[in-house]
């Protein structure tokens, strides 16, 4: 009788151990997936479709500087920086820079309204996918600059400083 109890205990112990190992593995995988890319690391590839139907694949942007801005329509700081981003876009779009804004977990109708109100002419996508998690977005606004070599060169949590962003872009333009 005691031998079977110890056998049952062993089975229970193995099952509990396997569940714990599985749970820890899932937690670590989730933590890595949500870890913000670090400056100097390769940027994570992503694909989005803009509000006007344009497909953008970041891996096809080799040789260009890519500015990725995460925002939300309800975010006041995002509204404040929209004009600065538009000015930067107009200044750098013909210099090998692509600026894309990605609405973070927003509603299409609100994003379209935001684009119109802010006078935005650069590509804007609305993402309900894991792109924000891929970048490690912790809040909005957040801006990332990926160099022409695909390496993350700059990250800003909070409203951009247009002077600093211009300096970063000027250093990266081939």
Specify the pairing of strand 47-49 against strand 55-57: antiparallel
Do 61 and 112 fall into the same domain?
yes
H-helix segments, the chain: 2-33, 76-92, 108-118, 131-135, 162-172
Q: Is residue 41 situated within a structural domain?
A: no
Number of domains observed in the structure of the chain: 2
Do 89 and 119 fall into the same domain?
yes
State the Cα–Cα distance between residues 95 and 78, nearest whole angstrom: 25
Q: What is the pLDDT of residues 60-73, one digit of tens each?
A: 988 999 999 999 99
Are the beta carbons of 152 and 37 closer than 8 angstroms?
yes
Domain range spanning residue 12? 1-33
Residue 4 has pLDDT above 60, yes or no: no
State the Cα–Cα distance between residues 168 and 88, nearest whole angstrom: 12
State the Cα–Cα distance between residues 145 and 142, nearest whole angstrom: 10
Residue 174 has pLDDT above 80, yes or no: no
Do 91 and 26 fall into the same domain?
no
Do 16 and 65 fall into the same domain?
no
Residue 128 has pLDDT above 80, yes or no: no
Instruction: Report pLDDT for 134.
Output: 87
155: cis peptide before it, omega within 30°? no
Q: Is residue 8 situated within a structural domain?
A: yes
Q: Locate 163 and state its tokens.
A: 């002077």
Residue 115 has pLDDT above 80, yes or no: yes
Do 130 and 100 fall into the same domain?
yes
Q: What is the pLDDT of residues 43-52, one digit of tens each?
A: 989 999 999 9
């Amino acid at each position: 009788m005691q031998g079977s109890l110890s056998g049952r205990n062993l089975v229970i112990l193995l099952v509990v151990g396997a569940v714990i190992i599985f749970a820890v593995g899932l937690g670590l995988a989730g933590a890595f997936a949500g870890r913000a890319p670090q400056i100097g690391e390769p940027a994570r590839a992503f694909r989005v479709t803009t509000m006007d139907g344009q497909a953008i694949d970041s891996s096809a942007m080799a040789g260009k500087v890519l500015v990725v801005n995460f925002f939300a329509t309800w975010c006041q700081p995002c509204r404040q920086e929209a004009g600065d981003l538009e000015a930067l876009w107009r200044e750098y779009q013909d210099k090998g820079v692509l600026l894309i804004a990605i609405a973070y977990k927003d509603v299409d109708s609100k994003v379209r309204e935001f684009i119109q109100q802010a006078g935005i002419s650069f590509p804007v996508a609305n993402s309900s996918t894991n792109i924000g998690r891929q970048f490690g977005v912790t809040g909005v606004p957040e801006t990332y600059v990926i160099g022409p070599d695909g390496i993350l060169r700059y990250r800003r949590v909070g409203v951009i400083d247009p002077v600093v962003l211009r300096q970063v872009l000027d250093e990266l333009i081939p």
